[in-house]
Amino acid sequence: MKCGFCMSACPVYSIDHRESHVARGRNMLVRMAKDGALATDESYRDSLSCCLLCGRCEAMCPAGVPSSAIAVSARCELAGKRGLDASQRLIYRGMIKHRSAFAKLARVLSWLPGMSNREGDPVRHFPDIVSSLFHGMSVPRLAAPFLSRRWPQQIPPQDVAPIGKVAVFTGCIFEFFMADAGSDMLLSLAKLGFEVSYPHDQTCCGLPVLSGGDLDTARAIARRNIEVFSPYEHIVTGCASCGAHLKRYDSLFGKDDPWREKAAAFARRVEDFSEFLVKRGHAAAARRAVGGGASPTGEKAGGKPKVTYHEPCHLKWKQGVGELPRKMLRGLDDIEFVEMEGADSCCGLGGYFGIAHPDLRLAILAKKVDAIRGSGADIVVTACPGCLLQLMDGIRREKLPVRVMHLAQLLRGGY
C-alpha cells in the first residue's frame, strides 16, 4: 500500500515528518532489505526503532497491512543476523526472562536509601545517575514491599458471598513499581466476591523482549506463562500493553508448532480489567464495594473532581477495547467525567522507544499534556502502567496540579 493514510495517524511522523519513520516508508525499506537491495546499516536500524508499535497505522490502513507486526518481524530478522548486543542479552535473557532473579536484585536495591518508597533520602547524585540512564525520564521508586510480598497466591472473597473465580496477570510495573495500584486491582475483584488467583511464578509478558527482536526468548516467556495460567478459565490484567501481547501469544509460534493452539486457547481467556468488569456489569458494584462511595478528598470546592481519560494505544488499537473504560467512568456518580481532546492519541512512551528517542518521546508527550491541561481535569486516569509512567513524567515537567491514576485506583476512591 502506498496511499499514505498512515501518515495522518502516526505519532512519530506528526513530529519529524520523515518518510522512513512512517509505515509506508518503513515497509518499503523492509521489502528492499529483504530483497537485498538495501544495506541493513545504522539508518535502517533507526527506521525500525522509530516505531511505537501503537497500531494506529493498522487501524487506518484500507488494506489492513499489519505494519507493526512487519516492523517487529524485521527487528527479529535483524537480531538473528547480527545477534543481540551485550546489554540486550543481559536485559532480555538475564533479567526479564528470569524475573525471580531480577526480583532478588531489585529487593536488594530497594533497601538503598531513596531507591524505594521507604523513608530516607536518596544516595547523593544517585537519582541523577538513574535519570541519565533513561535520558532524563523520571523513574519511580521501587515498591516496598513488592506486590507479590503483599498478597498470597489465593485471595478469598472479601466479606461477600463468592460469585466466581479469576486469575490475575499483574505485569512487571505493578509488581515492582506500582504495587499500590496492583493491590487496588486485586482488592476490587476480591471485594466483588471473586476468588482471586495470583500466581507468583508468572513472569513478564515478553512484549519488551519481542519488540527488541529476541523471538526465542519471547517464546520461552510465553510458554512459561501459558503453563502457569493453564488451570484458570478467566485471566485479567490491568496492563493494556501486557493484555495486547498476551492476546496474541499464538502469533509467536508457527502453524505446525504444538504450542500455537495452547497459546490461542490461553489468549481467548485474557481480558482487560475494565473489559472484565463492564461486560459483566460489575463496574459500579466494584466502586461501592471497594470505595464505599466515600466523599473524595482533594476535590474542587463545591463540586466533584473532574476526571479525564487517556486511552492507551494497546487497549484501543490492539485490543479493540475503546468505550468500556469510559462506560465505567461515566457510571461513577462521585466524579465528573470530562473527555479530553485527542484522548486516543499516543502518549509517546512505547517501551524502549522512549529511551532510545527521548526528543521524540517528549515532543509527543507535550501534545498529550496540553490536552490534559485543556480538559481542566483534576485527575487523569488510564489503563496502562507504562502510560502512567509517561503521564506522570509529563505532569511533573509541566508542574500541573493533576493526579495520574490507574482505573483500579479510581475505583478504590483513593483521590
What's the whole-number mean pLDDT along residues 73-88? 89
Confidence class for position 308, pLDDT limits 50, 70, 90: very high
In a domain, 248, yes or no: no
Query: With 0-12 CB in 10 A as exposed, 13-18 as middle and 19+ as buried, what is 327?
Result: middle
Q: Which domain holds residue 378?
A: 292-412
Q: Give residue 294's pLDDT.
A: 42
The yes-or-no verdict on residue 228 having pLDDT over 90 is yes
Cα torsion 379, 359, 208, 178: sign = negative
Grid cell 509541566 in the structure block, residue: 398
The predicted-structure confidence for 170-180, as pLDDT tens digits, reads as follows 999 999 999 99
Q: Which of 40, 64, 82 is the last residue of a domain?
A: 82
Q: Give residue 310's pLDDT.
A: 98
Q: Which residue in 253, 57, 281, 290 sits closest to 160, CA to CA?
A: 290
In a domain, 30, yes or no: yes
Query: With 0-12 CB in 10 A as exposed, 13-18 as middle and 19+ as buried, what is 170?
Result: buried
Q: Give residue 105's pLDDT.
A: 77
What's the whole-number mean pLDDT along residues 93-108? 80
Query: With 0-12 CB in 10 A as exposed, 13-18 as middle and 19+ as buried, what is 258?
Result: exposed
Q: Give residue 290's pLDDT.
A: 60
Q: Which of 47, 67, 82 is the last residue of a domain?
A: 82
SS3 73: helix
Task: Tell me the pTM.
Answer: 0.90
Bridge partners of residue 307, in order along the sequence: 337, 379
Judge whether 39 and 221 are in contact, CB under 8 Å: no
Q: Which of 57, 82, 107 is the last residue of a domain?
A: 82
Question: Given 3-state DSSP classes, what are the helix, strand and coil percentages for the chain, each rounded to the nearest 5?
Answer: 50, 10, 40
Grid cell 485506583 in the structure block, residue: 409
Q: Higher pLDDT residue, 84 or 140?
A: 84
Q: Give residue 292's pLDDT.
A: 47
**How many Cβ atoms from other residues are within 10 Å of residue 398's Cβ?**
14
The predicted-structure confidence for 110-134, as pLDDT tens digits, reads as follows 776 666 666 555 444 444 545 555 5
Q: Chain-wide mean pLDDT for the chain?
A: 89
DSSP structural state of residue 116: B
Cα dihedral value 3, 5, 11, 16, nearest 10 = 40
Q: Higher pLDDT residue, 71 or 141?
A: 71
Instruction: Give the separation between CA 172 and CA 147, rounded to whole angstroms.
Output: 10
Q: Give residue 411's pLDDT.
A: 86
In a domain, 338, yes or no: yes
Instruction: Give the separation between CA 82 and CA 77, rounded to whole angstroms.
Output: 9
φ/ψ bin of 326: left (φ > 0), alpha (ψ from -120 to 50), beta (otherwise): alpha
Judge whether 284 and 327 are in contact, CB under 8 Å: no
Q: Give residue 180's pLDDT.
A: 93
Q: Which of 38-52, 201-215, 283-297, 387-401 has the lowest mean pLDDT?
A: 283-297
In a domain, 347, yes or no: yes
The yes-or-no verdict on residue 135 having pLDDT over 60 is no
For 333, residues 6+ apart whose C-beta sits below 8 A from its C-beta are 293
The predicted-structure confidence for 330-352, as pLDDT tens digits, reads as follows 988 889 999 999 999 999 999 88
For 196, residues 6+ apart whose C-beta sits below 8 A from its C-beta are 154, 155, 165, 166, 167, 168, 186, 189, 190
In a domain, 386, yes or no: yes
Bridge partners of residue 271, in order along the sequence: 236
Structural domain count of the chain: 2
What's the whole-number mean pLDDT along residues 250-267? 97
In a domain, 70, yes or no: yes
The predicted-structure confidence for 370-402, as pLDDT tens digits, reads as follows 999 999 999 999 999 999 999 999 999 999 999
Q: Which residue in 308, 400, 314, 336 sits closest to 54, CA to CA?
A: 314
Instruction: Give the separation between CA 68 and CA 316, rounded to whole angstroms.
Output: 15
Q: What is the CATH number of the domain that holds 396?
A: 3.40.50.1860
For 165, residues 6+ apart whose C-beta sits below 8 A from its C-beta are 194, 195, 196, 197, 232, 233, 234
Grid cell 515537567 in the structure block, residue: 397
In a domain, 118, yes or no: no
Q: Give residue 415's pLDDT.
A: 55
Q: Give residue 297's pLDDT.
A: 42
The predicted-structure confidence for 268-286, as pLDDT tens digits, reads as follows 999 999 999 998 887 666 6
Q: Give residue 301's pLDDT.
A: 44
Interstrand relation of 235-237 and 270-272 (parallel, antiparallel or unpaired): parallel
In a domain, 244, yes or no: no
